[in-house]
Structure 1
């Protein structure tokens, strides 16, 4: 027979019970935060590919597309810009590494599927984080960062005549901006948001400038209705005579205090899924959010069959490791219903991809990819990539 024991005094029993409850809560929290989902999907060659990601940041369910590898880009390029005119994709500026930036344009020909041309940018033009738009002949390049690492932004703006390859300068922006949303709409060049002069604080300002045939029709930028949420790295699209702002983030890297080379230092960032539309020039309307928060998508979109297609990007950081998580889904925004869907998967997750669409094929090039199928964080080195996938009408609608 077991010996009888006296009950614990009340003054000891209460603290012990509280400690036990705290311990159980800690264990439950740990189990929830470490929960993973494992998927096995067939890759392009029929092999099973295992994936094990934190449940909160797992890839969204999506059809796997067959991608075809194209000629590699002439140089690695991160935070560059691009514009498609007909069967040509103009790929501009960007980082090769944090200590080296480009000051030239590479041109990809979708008809021949080759890189066909290279020419220089003005020496005074920004090397990354530009805003960019085109009217079908002229390419307007707005503000951005001049130099490597996290150097200051500049106010200067330029326009390229793609027929003559001549550059001309436009009136400067009222203040410098990093990666502002930029588009041509109703005869005016619109520039919105981006990062402020410290590179971190989001800007809400919205300016426009009347332009025609590569020339400014005004000497100063006009203030427009501010955007509801500021920040860099968002898609800015004109479709059906409406102006759309998609995704983006608040906050970004800042120059390290006292660094003579403006060395980049990480700061807190918030990635969001917000979508806004301006259709009458007087009021922004908030629409259905993206399927997941997505940033670094300013040139990762195309308009196809009354839909906006967006590839890749970055989403919220992992809450424990704080590492940047890259996006590998292909998103579709139906301009008729104003609703989102996930229509495909890229060959790997990638940020700051430069996208194009020609003759039924969706292309992307440049950017920074993931570490592998099981690791959605970014690689240390940039990649030279060129990929395309054939899109059917069933995928687009």
Structure 2
């Protein structure tokens, strides 16, 4: 493989991906983000030396920002896999402190993703994810639904809602104290916060249910509590999606008007950056425009947006995980064009970074033709 050029002087055909970016207090050396990916290599929820090494390698490879795999907040119904790291307790937080230290030493910024699965059960997710999962006796969601007509768990009470909000805030405060550069709230893919967003899983008749704006109330209160528990300029990212693990074709916001109603209260609450998850980032979100979900979100909210979803590979995630399909590197020309016209601000890369820890350096050096393809076997180890 040819020796990659300096990240400071990238190949002109991809140079826009390597612009420095300042988003509030978050100063990034380029637009490339390591997407959060569940890896489940943290026995008893404690990230060890192997986890620190894994993230450090991607920082050394040149990404500007790393978003950790989802981490469980401190609530008894938050988790469904004992090998996914937690973000509470002395041992786990010590592990995360070392991860953060090593990533910073390698020149990248990092935020943890804070996660509660809500009513989602082992049977509601793709087969590939199930190996380490446990069936839970306590499953909580807005209305005891995992999708329309399918019950699961029970409706969370007002008291429990307060407990969960406090747990998010405590995790964010701990992240700031450890030295992380912000936090990401996992509000996507059919998990707890997304269950409040989605009308098929939120049938509540109290303040947390109703129209599009009302269904954001739980997330709004999480953001408010995080902002009150951290420094005023501590960045908060919210990840959201139309698609759900329970329904890949879900459309929680079928029109731009619905999306605007969803975004407005979240912006007012203090979300700094939106992370917009699609299965195929190049697909237009609404008829009559080429803008993808991140593009529409940036336009309607006035906030920076991260795009994600098969950004650098020719096959989307579910196909590769469920069907064993190999995903090959795709042309970056469309991505570069969209960045150049400021459709979105940051680009999150997932599977390609699993098999190419130095993806940014290789691409900057004009050697993208030698990138490794992704297959599900790459997930067997943490390298």
TM bucket by the smaller chain?
Answer: 0.3 to 0.5
Task: Give TM-score, length-normalised by structure 1.
Answer: 0.32
TM-score when normalising by structure 2: 0.33
More strand by share: 1
Larger Rg: 1
* Bigger proportion of residues as helix: 2
Higher relative contact order (CA 8 A, sep 6+): 2
